[in-house]
Amino acid sequence: MTRFFLLSTLVCFAGALSAQTSCPNPYDGNGDGAVTINDLLDLLGLFGDADTDQDGIWDSVDACVDTGACNYAADPTESCAYIDVLGICGGGCEGDGDGDGVCDDVDTCVGDLDECGVCNGPGPTEIVIESITILYDSVYAPQIDTWFVFEVGADTTFSYTCAPFFGACGDPVSYQGYDYATVLIGDQCWFAENLRNEYYENGDGIPANLSDGEWSSTTSGALAVYGEDLGCETYSPDIDACEPAPSLNEYGRLYNWYAVDDSRGLCPSGWHVPTDGEWITMEMALGMSEAEANGTGWRGTDQGAQMKTDYGWYNGGNGTNSSGFSGLPGGYRYDSGLFNGAGYLGFWWSSSPYGFLAWDHYLGSSSEYVNRNINDRRVGFSVRCVRDAE
């Protein structure tokens, strides 16, 4: 007010020197015949202050003078804020990729949930129609005393069959009620746990609880839990592996090779039992030379130590598990039906046949190497899954 009064006085004083008898409009900078706030601000600008954003606040005391800001005419003590992608002034959201009004950094699904509840998932593998109810209406024709009934629609109830969905290696894979850990080794994504499912991938049951005689004579797929029958040796420093419950929890199940080779599949959709060549590829990713990897018997340097867990191996034969493979000594079931090796040896089938036999790879408590061998298809070994090539 003091500055305005001084300026007005100066203008009037200048007019007095010109012998004017009355004080005209003190300042009409834009020549519109009226003195407005814009004229006053223009006049005050002559004294070194300005109002760049024309919000009635001098720039010298205005924290935001950018007319591109959403709050330039608000509280002069606030710094400039801008409208984010959600249309919120000062909201700070930098992205809303799916346009759902939820900022990407807090959005649990940037995209769409499929019918199986999976974000950006592949959708159901099958749509199952549970029931169909036909809807009817009718009309009466009194001239001929007749009702005409006609269909007007149908009400269908259906459900979805959803395949296990996998995001990225390192995420768990849910399969038949169990979540399997996964690990990336080289360019391959492996299960980091042994299989324990009782059903093929298509839902058919795998024969179980076979006696020694049945196990030794079958040429069909079968599974076992270590120690479930008489005739059992255990070397585990941590559990009594001849007790089926702790053995199943620790080692998963054992499968003969006929189950591995069954077209109904042991692994979930998108996964398979690794071939002998895929085992070799994994071992080479851990530093085994190609010449060694293609050999048989104990091979490599410390690849076995990299694959073994750092616990659970007989006589201190633990590994480093630096690969994340988490190999445990689950033992085996002989072709005769007897159980042996738990705590001392860990065997895993490949899906590759070798004449009347099949390739396997195994680890031992007393070795840092990896053994590549062939075995009778009736023997029960542990099984891992590897992800299908994309």
* Domain chopping of the chain, boundaries: 2-48, 112-163, 173-387
Q: Note the pLDDT of residue 32.
A: 76
Q: Which residues pair with 146 in a beta bridge?
A: 141
Between residues 98 and 261, the one the model is more confident about: 261
**pLDDT at residue 12, rounded to an integer:** 44
Instruction: Give per-residue pLDDT as tens, 193-241.
Output: 999 999 999 999 999 999 999 999 999 999 999 999 989 999 999 999 9
Q: Which of 53-67, 187-201, 208-222, 301-315 has the lowest mean pLDDT?
A: 53-67
The pLDDT value recorded for residue 161 is 67
Q: What is the pLDDT of residues 109-121, one digit of tens each?
A: 888 887 777 777 7
β-bridge mates for residue 131, sequence order? 157
Which of 16-25, 247-256, 368-377 is least confident? Answer: 16-25
> Which residues lie below 8 Å from residue 35, measured CB to CB, with a gap of 6+?
25, 26, 27, 28
72-81 per-position pLDDT tens digit? 888 888 999 9
Q: Quick: pLDDT tens for 140-163.
A: 989 999 999 889 888 888 677 666
Q: Is the pLDDT of residue 15 over 50?
A: no
Q: Please provide the average confidence, as pLDDT, over all residues in the chain.
A: 88
Place of tokens 């005393």: 145
- pLDDT greater than 80 at residue 31: no
Is residue 188 within a helix (H) or strand (E), and if so which, with residue range? strand 188-191
Length of the chain: 390
Lowest mean pLDDT among 163-167, 180-184, 330-334, 348-352: 163-167
Give this prediction's pTM.
0.63
